[in-house]
Amino acid sequence: MKNREKPLSERQKHILQYIWNYFQENSRPPTIREIGGATSISSTSVVNYNLTKLTERGLLARDAEVSRGVRLTQKAMREIGSVAETVAAAVGNVVGTAARMVRVPLLGNIVAGEPIEVGNNDFWTYDEDDAIDLSSAMLPGGKSDDLFALRVSGESMIDAMVNDGDIVVMKQQQTAKNGDMVAVWLNSSDTTTLKYFYNEGSRVRLQPANPTMDPIYVDATDVRVQGKVMMVLRQTA
| DSSP output for 105-172 | EEEEEEESSS-EE-SSS------TT-EEEEEGGGSGGG--TTEEEEEEESSTTGGGT--TT-EEEEEE
Other beta carbons within 10 Å of 93: 15
Kind and range of the H or E run holding 36: helix 32-38
Q: Closest by alpha carbon to 162, among 145, 177, 149?
A: 149
Catalytic residue list contains 156: yes
Q: Which of 67, 144, 195, 228 is catalytic?
A: 195
- The active-site residue, picked from 67, 144, 156, 228, is 156
Assess whether 195 carries a catalytic annotation: yes
- Provide the angle, in degrees to the nearest 10, between the axes of the packed helices 44-56 and 10-26: 90
Q: Going by C-beta distance under 8 Å and a sequence separation of 6 or more, which residues neighbour residue 14?
A: 38, 39
- Kind plus residue range of the DSSP H or E element containing 96: helix 87-99
Task: Yes or no: say if 167 and 232 are a contact pair by the CB < 8 Å rule.
Answer: yes
d(CA 48, CA 33): 10
Amino acid at 215: P
Residue pair 53/12 in contact (Cβ under 8 Å)? The answer is yes
Q: Which residues are identified as catalytic?
A: 156, 195
